[in-house]
Amino acid sequence: PETKIIKDEL
């Protein structure tokens, strides 16, 4: 599985 992308953008 892809690395979890952290949602730090608006």
Site for other proteins, rule CB under 8 A: 1-2, 4-10
CA atoms of 6 and 3, how far apart (whole Å) = 9
CA atoms of 4 and 8, how far apart (whole Å) = 12
Q: DSSP secondary structure string, 1-10?
A: -PPPPP----
CB of 3 to other proteins, least distance (A): 10
CB of 5 to other proteins, least distance (A): 5
